Structure 1
Amino acid sequence: MTLVDSLEGIVWECEFPSYRLTFVSQQAERLLGYPIKEWLESPNFFWGHLHEADKSRVMEYCREAILKKKNHQIEYRFFRKNGEMIWLRDLVTVVVEHDQPVKLRGVIFDITQSKQAETVLQESEERFRHLNEAIPQQVWTARPDGSLDYVNPRVLEYFGYPFEEMIGQGWQRFLHPDDLPGCLDCWARARETNQPYEIEFRLLRGSDHSFRWHLGRALPVFNSEGQVVKWFGSNTDITQLKQLENQVRQSQKMEAIGTLAGGIAHDFNNILMAILGYAELAKLSTRDNKGAQRNLEEVMVAGQRAKELVQQILAFSRQTEQIRQPLDLQLVVKEVCKFLRATLPATIDIRQNFAEATSIILGDPIQMHQVLMNLCANAEHAMRVRGGILELKVEHVTGEPDGIGIHPYPKGGAYIRLTVRDTGSGMTPEVAQRIFDPFYTTKEVGEGTGMGLAVVHGIVISHGGVIKVESEPGQGTTFNIYFPEMEARGHQGDDIPLQQEIFIGRGHILFVEDEEPLARLGEETLRSLGYEVMVCTSSIEALETFRADPFRFDAVVTDQTMPNMTGEALAGEMLQLRSDVPIILCTGFSHSMTPEKAKAMGIRAFLLKPLLIKDLARALREALHL
């Protein structure tokens, strides 16, 4: 065997321009299966077995290269004698004599395996590309020094920059300034240890210039020598997850506040019961003393405000049901203004403006207080540095209001418009568009939760109202809220003088209260209303007394929260002894007892402390059918 025949490739020679083969090595037969005789005797042997799709390309390429007298190489597909197609690489030398190409000499190698591997790689890269374009995460690859060399379309969409501007080291400019040091430290440790990493950070979004939370993950890619040749990473937007975490934390806080509020409400309402009750009794006994009457009236007003404050705390912690009733919005504004004057700095001038005598809506007074307090708190924050004017205005309007919310009158109607205006720092249009989003806030960390205006929005919508905000930077902010108006007729306040109603009753009442001051108050109150009273400061004692003679008493008035036996349990025992006994259950606050549950047990009335004399008197007369 000659040296040529021992080579791995097929050595050949042909004339030019006829392309007639003059020599082919034995490797041609071993590799392709055709006898050497066929190669040499058939003028078109090569072209006849070349893949049809490659013929014109190979012929044109070779012709141009030969005319330029350039050595060249080309790849093409060729069919073996058994019909199998293989890939070949042909290295061609042009033999030139007298400045003219006269012969071609070459070596052909089988590159089928490398082509197959190349195809597999291309298919893999194509799958990778489709996957990266389909998934919602941002995907990137980086060189060992951290400079990006690939980003998927999600990255371009998020940041709003073309591919060319995202490649390199510029990614750091998109990080939140507070997160940049931590990210750089994490990246430095990863490069030093060649270990995967995971970190949370905020990235600036191009469309609205807001920072959104992302979870970044990356892992190193090693070569055969164990060296890092690339980093593969992804960024997942976790902003909603962060918001849900905040909601859970807020919910847990509210649950804790609710538990605390319930305990405070019970004890505080009992204290208020004594203050209001004894003040009322004092008013009845000093009717001829005008000075004392005025002083006691102030005590009553203060007590009522304290009662409402407890209700606000319970409503805020969702411990009481929101009850809607005909409500004069002007009275709510006046109450809020009194509170604000005592709490806001003197640099803020509070003004109130009422266009009509009354402004009646169907609303929850606690929630209306919450709306006003939240709006005024935001106004105070906007004017904290330079001061300014805070104006609250209530007026009647007709037509179709412009804003966000429910429009109960599609063709226009009568509304009460509540306006809260400040001359503070104002807002940009971008901020104004997002102020009602939960957890969105422009305040510093620790100064706001981002829930105040979201709560305002929810309350307005639940009342069938419409809310609109107008603001410009440096020009202040105006909130206009529209509530459907109610007719004033039939709306009465709760301040009905005691002597205007007939509360005098008759009968024997068993009064059960474990706190001595309230027990004495109950006894005096009931006697002043004409009832005979027996007082028990122990629920166990009261049950034994009732068991001894169930028909001795015409009605039972009992507290709910007592040692040894609750009012609920006491009522159940008494009803078993005498099913028709009228029972009135009173409580400062109870987690377990509700008006519906009391009614289902057979209890005639369920009253919340602190009670006015008229509340208890009315309930007794109804229970006794007087």
Structure 2
Amino acid sequence: MAADIISQLMTFARKDSVALQSISFRSFVNEALKLAKVAIPENILMTHNICSDDLIIKGNITQLQQVILNLINNARDAVHGVHAPKIYISLRQYLPNKKFILKHQIPRNNHTYAQLTISDNGCGIEKEDLQRIFEPFFTTKAQGKGTGLGLAMVFGAIQTHHGVIDVESNLNAGTRFDLYLPLEQKAINEFDLNSPVEVIRGKGETILIADDDTQVRDILSKLLTGLGYQVLQAEDGCMAVELFKTHQNNISLLILDVIMPNMGGIEAAANIRIYKPSMPVLYATGYDKNNVLVNALKEDGSQVIGKPYSVATLSRMVRMLLGH
């Protein structure tokens, strides 16, 4: 508990000095949801509807992860004891209307936003408490169950990102949070800034890819096939290991999502390398390429590619790992 309080207080302290970088908010939300699901009991139905647009924003990975986990954990607590508990998350592009502009006093600049909605059918919030939920140290939870800093941190982080937050709640009917983060006007894929656009084709090698997102997996498969590779697909780490056992003499490279249900990419690679220690691995992640996890992944000679990535970058990293 003390560590949680210190961590959240540090978020306030860093408010004016937080480093923001261009990220795909869609990819980030998908990765954050994988982490959040670990803490959700099986009796709670957690569903989501994530748009296909990248929604490039200027964001801080650490703060945004705290925001999403805080709100989902609050929703989990709110539905405790509710019949048929549900949590729903959606992400879409939003163009502000006149009512939104007046309510939040934002400039009329035709700026579009990424709208992240997190709602539940839980206990709801008393009307008199709703006006205070973003105040530091205010909490409606039982003593020892909350610090009163979670929603205050969420509010501060959204302000740091030049966004706005709306909340609606009805007692015994549920609560809905809407987060609005401004999209970059000119989103440029960071991988294309300082690198040539040449696409390097394959030579018919077989690549095993694993990602639990069907859309991401299908697109990656089509890209690799178009580059001249053979592709085997797995929906999680367990399936990847089994596929490798069957086709290990033909597989030349693994492309693994870091976080997947049942078994993630790191554990899958470790299991596969029991059979072939020299197997090259390219990890795909929506997180900051400079964070501790990513740096650790590179220690065994593997490489990391951040989502979203360009075809040219993908083609070069694949050829580099294949040693050609």
- Label 1:477 to 1:493 Cα distance change in 2 as closer, same or farther (>3 A): farther
- Aligned residue for 1:326, secondary structure, equals strand
CA separation in 2, counterparts of 1:444 and 1:402? Answer: 34
User: Which of 78, 84, 90 is 1:382 aligned to?
Assistant: 78
AA aligned opposite 2:73:
A
Q: CA deviation at 1:418?
A: 0.9
Is residue 446 from structure 1 mapped to residue 144 from structure 2 by the alignment?
A: yes
Q: CA deviation at 1:443?
A: 0.4
* TM-score computed with the length of structure 1 as normaliser: 0.29
Q: Contact between 1:358 and 1:488, CA under 8 Å: does it hold in 2?
A: no
- Corresponding residue for residue 354 of structure 1: 50
Is residue 392 from structure 1 mapped to residue 85 from structure 2 by the alignment?
A: no
- Corresponding residue for residue 238 of structure 2: none
User: Which of 406, 413, 416 is 2:114 aligned to?
Assistant: 416
- Corresponding residue for residue 15 of structure 1: none
Q: Contact between 2:101 and 2:107, CA under 8 Å: does it hold in 1?
A: no
User: Which of 183, 198, 210 is 1:485 aligned to?
Assistant: 183
User: Which of 5, 9, 19 is 1:323 aligned to?
Assistant: 19
Q: CA deviation at 1:253?
A: 6.2
Q: CA deviation at 1:317?
A: 9.3
Q: Contact between 1:325 and 1:364, CA under 8 Å: does it hold in 2?
A: yes
AA aligned opposite 2:60:
D
**1:573-596 deviations in whole A, cap 9, x for unaligned?**
xxxxxxxxxxxxxxxxxxxxxxxx
- Aligned residue for 1:402, secondary structure, equals helix
Q: Contact between 1:348 and 1:389, CA under 8 Å: does it hold in 2?
A: yes
Larger Rg: 1
**1:401-437 deviations in whole A, cap 9, x for unaligned?**
6399965433553111111111111112111111111
AA aligned opposite 2:34:
K
Q: CA deviation at 1:337?
A: 1.5
* Structure 2: tracts of 5 or more residues without a match: 200-289, 305-324
CA separation in 1, counterparts of 2:40 and 2:55? Answer: 26
- Label 1:464 to 1:404 Cα distance change in 2 as closer, same or farther (>3 A): farther
- Aligned residue for 1:455, secondary structure, equals helix
Q: Contact between 1:437 and 1:454, CA under 8 Å: does it hold in 2?
A: yes
AA aligned opposite 2:72:
C
Q: Which has the higher contact order (CA 8 A, sep 6+)?
A: 2
Is residue 365 from structure 1 mapped to residue 61 from structure 2 by the alignment?
A: yes
CA separation in 2, counterparts of 1:335 and 1:396? Answer: 18
Is residue 340 from structure 1 mapped to residue 36 from structure 2 by the alignment?
A: yes
CA separation in 2, counterparts of 1:252 and 1:328? Answer: 27
Q: CA deviation at 1:251?
A: 9.8
Q: CA deviation at 1:480?
A: 0.8
- Corresponding residue for residue 468 of structure 1: 166
Q: CA deviation at 1:340?
A: 2.2
After superposition, where does 1:30-41 map in structure 2 within 5 Å? none
* TM-score computed with the length of structure 2 as normaliser: 0.53
Q: Contact between 1:408 and 1:464, CA under 8 Å: does it hold in 2?
A: no
- Label 1:380 to 1:490 Cα distance change in 2 as closer, same or farther (>3 A): same
Q: Contact between 1:403 and 1:467, CA under 8 Å: does it hold in 2?
A: no
CA separation in 1, counterparts of 2:3 and 2:132? Answer: 22
AA aligned opposite 2:76:
E
CA separation in 1, counterparts of 2:115 and 2:18? Answer: 22
CA separation in 2, counterparts of 1:345 and 1:418? Answer: 22
CA separation in 1, counterparts of 2:102 and 2:29? Answer: 22
AA aligned opposite 1:482:
Y
- Aligned residue for 1:343, secondary structure, equals coil
Q: Contact between 1:405 and 1:465, CA under 8 Å: does it hold in 2?
A: no
CA separation in 2, counterparts of 1:315 and 1:455? Answer: 7
**1:465-485 deviations in whole A, cap 9, x for unaligned?**
111100101211111111111
- Aligned residue for 1:330, secondary structure, equals helix
CA separation in 2, counterparts of 1:461 and 1:365? Answer: 15
Count how many residue pairs are aligned between Structure 1 and Structure 2: 203
CA separation in 2, counterparts of 1:250 and 1:405? Answer: 37
Give me the identity figure in percent. 29
Q: Contact between 2:70 and 2:150, CA under 8 Å: does it hold in 1?
A: yes
User: Which of 157, 161, 178 is 1:459 aligned to?
Assistant: 157
Q: Contact between 2:101 and 2:108, CA under 8 Å: does it hold in 1?
A: no
Q: CA deviation at 1:341?
A: 2.1
- Label 1:472 to 1:327 Cα distance change in 2 as closer, same or farther (>3 A): same
Q: CA deviation at 1:315?
A: 6.7
- Corresponding residue for residue 245 of structure 1: none
Q: CA deviation at 1:397?
A: 1.3
CA separation in 2, counterparts of 1:427 and 1:355? Answer: 29
**1:368-423 deviations in whole A, cap 9, x for unaligned?**
11110111111000012225221111111112463999654335531111111111
**1:578-625 deviations in whole A, cap 9, x for unaligned?**
xxxxxxxxxxxxxxxxxxxxxxxxxxxxx986364789xxxxxxxxxx
**1:512-533 deviations in whole A, cap 9, x for unaligned?**
xxxxxxxxxxxxxxxxxxxxxx
CA separation in 1, counterparts of 2:171 and 2:71? Answer: 18
Two-structure CA RMSD over aligned residues (Å)? 4.0
Q: Contact between 1:403 and 1:468, CA under 8 Å: does it hold in 2?
A: no
Q: CA deviation at 1:357?
A: 2.2
- Corresponding residue for residue 131 of structure 2: 433
Q: CA deviation at 1:464?
A: 1.0
CA separation in 1, counterparts of 2:291 and 2:32? Answer: 24
- Label 1:454 to 1:405 Cα distance change in 2 as closer, same or farther (>3 A): farther
AA aligned opposite 2:25:
L
After superposition, where does 1:127-526 map in structure 2 within 5 Å? 254=6, 322-386=18-82, 387-400=84-97, 402=100, 407-410=105-108, 412-487=110-185, 489-492=187-190
Q: CA deviation at 1:488?
A: 6.1
Q: Contact between 1:351 and 1:392, CA under 8 Å: does it hold in 2?
A: yes
Q: Contact between 2:22 and 2:57, CA under 8 Å: does it hold in 1?
A: yes
* Structure 1: tracts of 5 or more residues without a match: 1-248, 258-311, 502-606, 616-626
CA separation in 2, counterparts of 1:335 and 1:608? Answer: 15
- Corresponding residue for residue 573 of structure 1: none
AA aligned opposite 2:140:
T
After superposition, where does 1:535-554 map in structure 2 within 5 Å? none
- Label 1:369 to 1:491 Cα distance change in 2 as closer, same or farther (>3 A): same
- Label 1:391 to 1:384 Cα distance change in 2 as closer, same or farther (>3 A): same
